[in-house]
């Protein structure tokens, strides 16, 4: 049996070492001095692939110098999904000195650096590098004159399971999940005692121990995130059994995307060190709430909150309303990046607190855009876009949201009247009048094909990136799922 006590001890040892880089590290010289000061022997270079997963390569510290930050480190781009063809495979990684930290998860002392991807021939940012997209989106916002800063606060939920098994072969397909914390184990009778204390269906939110068995796990994740320079505001149990949430303090677009990648890295690895498995899959459990990534967002200019107006609806400014209008207009296309998997649309169904209705409202969680009212101070005024989920590549998703909002402001797209009522309780005839999110990834990809000009402004997204994204999603996800028999079809049709 897995020795969780032993694993907790090793994680505690990691925590006792202060690996957070000084906040003012900005140059390669300072990075190398920091690494030598902490006796970091390995340098781990991280970059994000197009689909939103970290890739990495590690080198001994003595093999890099200040020039490495300008010359880059070469690798085979044809081996990364969505990047180069084999006939033009060479790409280079340029480390970003400002991202230097001691890796919070590795036993061997390791310097972690997030990199941008460059073309080695033109020495220009690689068009399919998602981090480049985020940086370009921030520059474009300034160029428009609308604002100089956008702030982002995603709330990425995840599940923690004790066991996961799955397989797909020509003649078989199955998955199996288990969590001792989940209500389906109330009647379990096995080799270990059943101690009960499980929340009823949909009653896991904010539960305390012993019902919440993951308190120490989330706290360990939180402390490691803070050690890595990622500020955490809170953590808690979510609605579904074994579902968790850790919320980060807001920050700017590219930095928050970097933090989101570190967040997922730490969550998965800490869970594994405790003998659990963590997943950001939106809908792993049938009939229960899925995992979303509600994205809080605001615009500022010269230190002024642009979304605040004391006289406006929910104290929103006209700028904020137009921004909302842009999100609602382009949501079908946005979801190709913000809810980018076939499983995303198992979550985006009515009845599970899912934001399927393309309307806005203050406080109302059945709307796709909510205006939180926890505080009505100007600095707290923001919108919450509730459609995204944590399978999204954060660099692409946040950039796409920003570009849709900018388009709304530039074209003065008003979102119409707010929906301050329970959308799930409407009569069918009234409910039919409300526009909803796409019903599948295939629909979202079609929407993106026909509605992406707003993403191309300022060279933020490129036609090449969008075309590659659509092709990859269809070839790797839409078609393979469409062509395979589903296990439930045997239940429905085998006796036909």
Q: Of these residues, 138, 181, 238, 288, which one is catalytic?
A: 238
Dihedral, CA of residue 460, residue 101, residue 266 and residue 260, to nearest 10: -20
Cα-only R_g, the chain: 23
Q: Is 476 a catalytic residue?
A: no
The span from the CA of 410 to the CA of 140, in Å, is 13
CA 356 to chain centre: 19
- Reading the block at residue 290, the tokens are 């899925």
Query: Is 486 in the active site?
Result: no
* Backbone conformation region of residue 22, classed left if phi is above 0, alpha if psi is from -120 to 50, else beta: beta
Active-site option among 36, 65, 70, 76:
76
Q: Find the catalytic residue in 131, 330, 370, 386.
A: 386
97: helix, coil or strand?
A: helix
Other CB atoms within 10 Å distance of the CB of residue 45: 22
List, in order, residues 6 or more apart from 404 with CB less than 8 Å away.
326, 327, 329, 330, 331, 334, 454
Catalytic, 475? Answer no
CA distance 316 to 382: 8
Question: Exactly one of 96, 103, 129, 245 is catalytic; which is it?
Answer: 245
User: Which residues have a Cβ under 8 Å from the Cβ of 20 and sit 6 or more positions away?
Assistant: 101, 102, 226, 227, 228, 229
Residue carrying the six token digits 């505080």: 375
Q: Which of 420, 403, 333, 406 is nearest to 369 (CA)?
A: 420
Q: Are 294 and 174 in contact (CB under 8 A)?
A: no
Helix (H, G, I), strand (E, B) or coil at 199: coil
What are the residues whose beta carbons fall under 8 Å from the beta carbon of 483, sequence distance 6 or more? none
Whether 62 is catalytic: no
Rounded Cα gap, residues 288 and 286, in angstroms: 6
For the chain, helix, strand, coil in percent to 5 are 40, 20, 40
Residue 425 designated active-site:
no
Q: Is 203 a catalytic residue?
A: no
- Name the catalytic one among 132, 218, 294, 330: 294
The DSSP 8-state label assigned to residue 169 in this structure reads E
E-strand stretches of 107-215: 110-118, 149-161, 163-169, 172-178
To the query of whether residue 365 is one of the catalytic residues in this protein, the response is yes
* Residue 370 annotated to the active site: no
Cα angle value 319/325/330 (rounded, 5°): 130
* Catalytic position from the list 178, 365, 451, 474: 365
Q: Round to whole Å and give the CA distance between 274 and 293.
A: 24
Choose, from 103, 129, 157, 389, the residue flagged as catalytic.
Answer: 157
Q: Which helix (H) or strand (E) holds 75?
A: strand 73-76
Selected catalytic residue, list 258, 309, 384, 407: 384
CA–CA separation, 135 and 118 (whole Å) = 14
- Give me the catalytic one of 96, 129, 138, 155: 155
| Residue 76 annotated to the active site | yes
Question: Cis omega before residue 357 (within 30°)?
Answer: no
211: three-class secondary structure by DSSP: coil
For the annotated catalytic residues, the residue numbers are 76, 155, 157, 238, 245, 294, 365, 384, 386
């Amino acid at each position: 049996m897995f020795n969780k006590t032993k694993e907790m001890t090793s994680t505690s040892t990691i925590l006792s070492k202060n690996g957070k880089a000084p906040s003012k590290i900005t140059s390669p010289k300072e990075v190398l001095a920091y690494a030598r000061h902490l006796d970091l022997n390995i340098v781990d270079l991280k970059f994000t692939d197009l689909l939103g997963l970290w890739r990495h390569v590690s080198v001994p510290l003595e093999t890099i110098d200040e020039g490495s930050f300008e010359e880059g480190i070469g690798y085979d781009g044809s081996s990364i999904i969505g990047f180069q063809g084999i006939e033009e495979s060479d790409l280079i990684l340029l480390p970003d000195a400002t991202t230097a930290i001691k890796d919070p998860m590795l036993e061997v002392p390791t310097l972690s650096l997030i990199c941008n991807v460059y073309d080695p021939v033109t020495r220009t940012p690689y068009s399919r590098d998602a981090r480049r997209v985020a940086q370009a989106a921030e520059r474009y916002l300034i160029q428009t004159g609308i604002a100089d800063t956008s702030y982002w606060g995603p709330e990425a939920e995840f599940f923690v399971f004790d066991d996961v098994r799955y397989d797909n072969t020509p003649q078989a397909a199955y998955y199996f999940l288990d969590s001792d914390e989940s209500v389906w184990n109330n009647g379990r009778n096995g080799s270990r005692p059943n101690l009960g204390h499980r929340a009823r269906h949909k009653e896991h939110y904010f539960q305390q121990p012993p019902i919440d068995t993951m308190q120490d796990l989330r706290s360990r994740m939180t402390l490691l995130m803070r050690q890595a320079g990622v500020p955490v505001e809170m953590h808690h149990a979510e609605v579904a059994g074994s579902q968790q949430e850790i919320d980060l303090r807001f920050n700017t677009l590219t930095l928050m995307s970097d933090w989101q990648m570190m967040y997922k890295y730490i969550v998965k690895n800490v869970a594994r060190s405790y003998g659990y498995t963590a997943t950001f899959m939106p809908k792993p459990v049938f009939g229960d709430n899925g995992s979303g990534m509600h994205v809080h967002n605001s615009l500022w200019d010269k230190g002024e909150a642009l979304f605040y107006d004391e006289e406006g609806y929910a104290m929103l400014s006209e700028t904020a309303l137009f921004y909302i209008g842009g999100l609602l207009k382009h949501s079908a296309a946005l979801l190709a990046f913000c809810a980018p998997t076939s499983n995303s649309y198992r979550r985006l169904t009515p009845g599970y607190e899912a934001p399927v209705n393309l309307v806005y409202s203050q406080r109302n969680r059945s709307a796709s855009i909510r205006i939180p009212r926890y505080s009505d101070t100007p600095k707290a005024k923001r919108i919450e876009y509730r459609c995204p989920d944590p399978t999204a590549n954060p660099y692409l998703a946040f950039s796409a949201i920003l570009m849709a909002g900018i388009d709304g402001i530039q074209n003065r797209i008003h979102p119409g009247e707010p929906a301050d009522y329970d959308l799930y309780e409407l009569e069918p005839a009234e409910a039919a009048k409300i526009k909803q999110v796409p019903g599948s990834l295939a629909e979202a990809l079609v929407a993106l094909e026909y509605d992406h000009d707003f993403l191309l402004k300022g060279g933020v997204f490129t036609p090449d990136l969008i075309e590659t994204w659509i092709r990859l999603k269809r070839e790797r996800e839409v078609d393979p799922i469409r062509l395979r028999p589903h296990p439930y079809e045997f239940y429905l049709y085998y006796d036909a």
